[in-house]
Structure 1
Amino acid sequence: MPRAPQTLDAETVRSWCAGALAALGRERAEIDAINVYPVADGDTGTNLYLTVESAARAVDAADRAADVAEIIRIMAHGALLGARGNSGTILSQLLRGMAVVLAEGADGDHLARALANAAGQARQAVAHPVEGTLLTVADAAAGACAAGGDLVTVAERAYEGARAALDATPGQLDALRRAGVVDAGGAGLVAVLGALLETLTGEAPDRPAEPAPHHHPPLGTDCAAGTGPAYEVIYLLEADDQAVDRLRGRLDELGESLVVVGGDGLWNVHVHVDDAGAAVEAGVEAGRPYRIRVTHFESRPEPAERAVVAVLPGEGLAGLCTEAGATTLVARPGETPTAAELTEAIRRAHAREIVLLPNDTELREIAAEAAEHARREGIRVALIPTRAAVQGIAALAVHEPERRFDEDVVAMTAAAGATRYAELGVAARQSFTSAGVCQAGDVLGLIEGDVAVIGRDLTATAVTVLDRMLSAGGELVTVVVAADTPDDLADTLERHVRTTYLAVDTTVYHAGEGAPPLLIGVE
């Protein structure tokens, strides 16, 4: 048997992170099945898994030369960025609390102090702590190893303390006692601590007894009281400490299950509310919220047979496609969606069959990775390699979920392929293009991804690009304008098509913030 390490090093933390993800992957379904508090929505195991998956991605991408302090910080930051649900958000704060102490040292005594700091930080992050939950299990883990010792001893005591506390949770919380289960979030923490112990010793610890089966009440039902807020709202927030303090007070008035974790200007906010819009507006008042996720507890359906997932530039265009029935992911300027974010959007669509529209040439490989990940989870995914949002709109327009899957995919692929696309942008600097040399501030007209027109005026360049596209024929022009595009541009183009190309129809969409100034599609 290999000698147990006396201190944590970077490689051990990497192994722990991978082991925690594997453990939660194995126990995900069991933990989901016992999730009755604070809302019996059967997703605690999934949320914990996705949170640690985000941490593992960050660790995998870290420099191999990073030391233990940096790796544990990266692990905690990754969990913060990807935290899901009540338990996932608290777990990210536990990791952050550990990282602060382990940056000072990584022996057994520091691990004991790290667990104590983690438990304290997590409890402070929850607006109204409840006993019999993940917080109680974290406290017990820290208390069991408070005396310190060598690394393995501390890890063993923490794990055993957490297990004992988990077994006692039904006696502390009526919702658990009535359902005959232990706390789901606490069970997830035991799995994470068990992975740490296995990493240090090379031997898997004894697992807690398998939880009793449980039949959930209808989604949206609060097990403790019979009623509860309708929405779960989660977002990342860039804001200072004072603004976050005010935000906590406002969200505490609006709802329950409030958890705000993070620091140093970046926070993860989680709350259950009846007014989701007010919760988001409170975030806007505090700073810059993004990656906003709103889930309606009572409307989580049984998996649909088929859904469309589309990546769109701009909130307005995403809203339009959402109204058409698609699950959307907004690609913000300078931020390329990751495979994990696309995979999460596929899961969020909650369907057995998915048609994936990346709508960007640069997203093709990322979309293929997400599709493969979803297939391993048993979801049938067809990737249509749409290269622009207007191709995605064309594909969505002919989508018919009543058709056979293959027939639907063929029809959508044909519609996308029959749509030529163009985009107008503004040059940031002098450069050589396929249409000649452009200067900073020039308007660039790109057709099928290549610069075809260089101009000084947005409207004149748009008309030139449109004429070039229609010279090859067309029946329908789709114009997509961004929020900061001149108001009269779409009207000018529509009037130009109507007077110059009598048999061609025009449709105008508004992409909202963050989209290119102008997108054109010709079918």
Structure 2
Amino acid sequence: MIKIDGVIFKQMIISASNNLYNSYPEVDALNVFPVPDGDTGTNMNLTMSSGAKEVFNKNDSSIGQVAKDFARGLLMGARGNSGVILSQIFRGFAEGLAGKNEVDALELASAFISGKEVAYKAVMRPVEGTILTVIREASNALYEHVEIDMPIDQCMDYLYDEAMKSLNHTPDLLPVLKEVGVVDSGGAGLCKILEGFKKALHNQIVEKEMATVTEKNVNYSSAKPNSIEGHGSVQAKFNHEEFGYCTQFLLKLQDQNNLGEKKAFNEKRFKAVLEAHGNSIVFIHSDDLVKVHIHTMKPGLIFTYAQQFGEFKTMKCDNMSEQHEELMDDFEAEKEKQGIQGEEQKFDVALKAAATVKEEDPKEKKKYALIAVAVGEGIEQMFLENNVDLIVSGGQTMNPSTADFVEAIKKLNAEHVFLFPNNGNIVMAAKQAAELMKEECDATVIETKTIPEGLVACLLFNPDDDVESNIESMKENIANVKSGEITYAIKDTTIDDVKVEKGKFMGIARKKILCCHKHKINTLVDLLEALVDEESSLITILCGQDVTEKEKEEVQERITKKFDSCEVNIEDGGQPVYSFFVSVE
């Protein structure tokens, strides 16, 4: 086979997506830090699945169009740094194939070079020994090796072999990989994708072998911040007016030049109908797709109205009145619906109050809006009390996608939007969303890497200052925050000269494991000893879901006695996975 078209490339995508899906727990296991996040494989799998879904029901024969659709799906579904970089690789790849119906080996090699270049540009400070190294070395090697009329399957075989060579070389470029004895997880995920491409070209299309994993989408509610009474109570997050039917659909609009029996779509009129018949509205219009989320008493009317303009790709309707008691019970129903079953139970983190929006006049455009990523009722409430307008549920174990941020930005009617990712692995997805939204509003990502950094930044936001003054003030104060966290180890390892044993608690700060002990409070004390100095005056401790009342009393007693020169503030954060978030100022 000398050339491939869109039909064959679609088969390659499906094969690659399935191959990564079957292997993503292995990729997760390569993560250097022994924390219970499992992020790289999971994020790349969810990103790749989004790209595959975008092309699955389409029948384009043009490889340029299939690559474009695939890149669009990856872009919107990108989660975590690994997912964003993956989306950028195939964004560049698609640009290299633009306008082509079919390509030969030389054109395919050129497209991978384009993918490499776009990916490197997307990362401000590229680090070698990562997925970037693998795509660079493999694509460069292929471009030098490829010949005119080279069979496509041989071309892909060579690319995969070179990618594996590069992957095995990553520990030599990144000392931490060599210390732990693993290869780069992002590079491994990319190799699984290339392997799936390769197998498809040898008529060995990979099929899914594992149980289906449910993607954790971020949902929205219009709860008022003052409706939550106390950090430990779910309370009535939906008042009576908000009951009815949670109605969602994805509508593919009819070709506006060939309407047939359908009507011409008018976005302004469509949104007016939604506003007249419901609330908690999320509306996204991109090219020929319209995505809607609405709480309404008349779902049938909404569905009937929408179908005048196209055909539904997906649709869903839930009776919220019947679900109210379940929502009151810590959203267990949502956990079951959204969580990962079986072996993936470790990723099943409750999506409590997935997004909370302060009540505003939707027709009046305000100057500023703040969006923060957080999980845990206590932490969410703290953000809402400190200038945040909307909270997107997420964190280390469930990174929001680019699309989640886009929806959140659209939800708020503001000239300037500040995004606080509060996790280093979420920054790139937030930035990608801000770039996508630049024609609709000015969105700025404040690169908060921890929850304490985010809280300090939001607290210091001043609505009377201009954008640049706020950015400068927030960045300056973030730099003065020393933060850390306590979580349990999921495997035995030695890193940063600290021996880590599975099940014990680790104290982490500045991307380093500083201590590891059997008891979480002993770990907390040691971590604070490393962070507190003679200039420190305030210690804030946010307690997680696993911390008991007795343990909180012990924390209060030991920390106030040990660090008697500091004011100690202990709060219920309610976060999963991490026993404590701490900040020292």
Q: TM-score, normalised by structure 2?
A: 0.49
Amino acid across the alignment from 2:443: V
- Whether 2:393 is the aligned partner of 1:349: answer no
Indicate the residue corresponding to 2:52 in structure 1.
Answer: none
> How far apart in 1 are the matches of 2:539 and 2:411?
32
What secondary structure, in the 3-state scheme, does the structure 2 residue paired with 1:375 have? Answer: coil
The answer to whether 1:328 aligns with 2:391 is yes
Matched ranges for 1:165-244 at <5 A: 165-166=262-263, 184=265, 222=276, 228-231=277-280
Pairing partner for 2:434 from 371, 377, 392: 371
Q: Deviations over 1:251-290 (max 9, x none)?
A: 99x9331699xxxxxx964469799956956985484255
Q: Is the alpha carbon distance of 1:281 and 1:416 closer, same or farther for their aligned partners in structure 2, counting shifts above 3 Å? A: same
Conserved 8 A contact 2:326-2:333: no
1:394 Cα deviation from its structure 2 partner? 1.1
Q: Is the alpha carbon distance of 1:21 and 1:337 closer, same or farther for their aligned partners in structure 2, counting shifts above 3 Å?
A: closer
Residue in structure 2 matched with residue 388 of structure 1 by the alignment: 450
How far, CA to CA, are the matches of 1:81 and 1:328 in structure 2?
A: 14
Of 43, 65, 75, 1:15 maps to: 65
* Structure 2 unpaired stretches of 5+: 1-6, 8-56, 79-86, 95-192, 222-244, 284-293, 304-313, 339-350
Structure 2 CA distance, aligned partners of 1:298 and 1:82?
A: 21
Q: Aligned partners of 2:216, 2:536: CA distance in 1, in Å?
A: 49
- Ranked by relative contact order (alpha carbons within 8 Å, sequence separation 6 or more), the top structure is 2
Of 492, 498, 515, the residue aligned with 1:430 is: 492
Alignment partners' CA distance in 2, 1:438 and 1:411: 38
Give 1:359 deviation, angstroms. Answer: 1.3
- Paired amino acid for 1:373: L
Change in Cα spacing, 1:444 to 1:487, as seen in structure 2 (3 Å) is same
What is the CA–CA distance in structure 2 between the aligned matches of 1:434 and 1:52, rounded to whole Å? 35
Shift of the 270–16 alpha-carbon distance from structure 1 to 2, 3 Å rule, reads farther
State the distance in 2 between where 1:439 and 1:20 align. Answer: 41
Change (3 A) 1:371 1:285: closer
Amino acid at match of 2:540: T
- Indicate which of 304, 307, 310 corresponds to 2:366: 304
Q: Does 1:479 align with 2:541?
A: yes
Structure 1 residue 356: Cα displacement:
2.0
Give the drift of 1:392: 0.7
Amino acid in structure 1 at the alignment position of 2:446: I
1:339 counterpart letter in structure 2? T
1:288 equivalent in alignment to 2:385: no
Describe the shift of the 1:295–1:17 C-alpha distance in structure 2 as closer, same or farther (beyond 3 A): farther
The structure with the largest alpha-carbon Rg is 1
Correspondence for 2:229: none
Query: Residue 522 and residue 17 in structure 1: after superposition, are their counterparts in 2 closer, same or farther (change >3 A)?
Result: same
The whole-number CA distance in structure 2 between the counterparts of 1:80 and 1:477 is 34
Q: Which residue is equivalent to 2:401?
A: 338
What is the Cα deviation at residue 52 of structure 1? Answer: 12
Shift in Å, 1:450: 0.6
The residue identity in structure 2 corresponding to 1:15 is Q
1:54–1:397 CA distance, 2 compared to 1 (3 A): closer
What is the correspondence of 1:66-215 to structure 2 with a 5 Å cutoff?
A: 89-91=248-250, 160=258, 162-166=259-263, 184=265
Distance 1:216 1:390, change over 3 A: closer
User: Would the aligned equivalents of 1:356 and 1:381 in 2 still touch at CA under 8 Å?
Assistant: yes
Work out the CA distance in 2 between the residues paired with 1:428 and 1:493: 24
Q: Could you tell me which amino acid in structure 1 is paired with residue 496 of structure 2? A: S
Identity within the alignment, %:
14
Work out which of the residue numbers 305, 311, 318 in structure 1 matches 2:380. Answer: 318
Range with greater deviation from structure 2 (309-318 or 456-465) = 309-318
CA contact (8 A) 1:424 1:516 kept: yes
* Structure 2 residue aligned with 1:40: none
Q: Which residue of 1 aligns with 2:18?
A: none
Aligned residues: 353
C-alpha contact (below 8 Å) 1:231/1:276 kept by paired residues: no
Q: Which SS does the other structure have where 1:361 is aligned?
A: coil
Q: Deviations over 1:386-416 (max 9, x none)?
A: 2210111111121111112211221211221
Corresponding residue SS for 2:426: helix
Which residue in the other structure is 1:442 paired with?
Answer: 504
3-state SS, counterpart of residue 546 of structure 2: coil
Looking at structure 2, the residues matched to 472 and 78 of structure 1 have their Cα atoms a distance apart, in angstroms, of: 49
Alpha-carbon contact 1:233-1:292 (below 8 Å) kept: no
Deviation at 1:352, TM superposition (A): 1.1
Say what the alpha-carbon RMSD is for the aligned residues: 5.2
Superimposed CA distance per residue, residues 189-238 of structure 1 (whole angstroms, 9 cap, x where no aligned partner): xxxxxxxxxxxxxxxxxxxxxxxx86987x8763xxxxx4554599xxxx
How far apart are the structure 1 equivalents of 2:375 and 2:456? 15
Which deviations, in whole Å up to 9, do the C-alpha atoms of 1:445-473 show, x marking residues without a partner? Answer: 11222111121111111112112211353
1:277 and 1:406, CA in 2 relative to 1: closer, same or farther beyond 3 A?
farther
Q: Offset of 1:500 from its aligned partner?
A: 3.8
**2:484 match: secondary structure:** strand
Q: Residue by residue, what CA displacement relative to the aligned partner does 1:461-491 show, whole Å, maximum 9, x if unpaired?
A: 1112112211353111111111112323343
Q: Deviations over 1:341-400 (max 9, x none)?
A: 2232233233211222221122232232222223243x2233222221011111112111
Q: Any idea what SS the aligned residue of 1:399 has?
A: coil
SS at match of 2:573: strand
* 1:288 maps to amino acid: K
Supply the distance in 2 between the matched residues of 1:256 and 1:279 (Cα, whole angstroms): 22
2:298 is aligned to 256
Q: Report what 2:560 is aligned to.
A: 498
Distance 2:75 2:419 in 1: 25
Decide whether the 8 Å contact of 1:309 with 1:354 is kept in 2: yes
Q: Which of 342-351 and 455-464 deviates more?
A: 342-351
**Aligned CA distance change for structure 1 residues 292 and 448 (closer, same or farther; 3 Å):** closer
Q: 2:13 maps to which residue?
A: none
Q: Deviation at 1:298?
A: 8.1
What amino acid is aligned across from residue 255 of structure 1 in structure 2? M
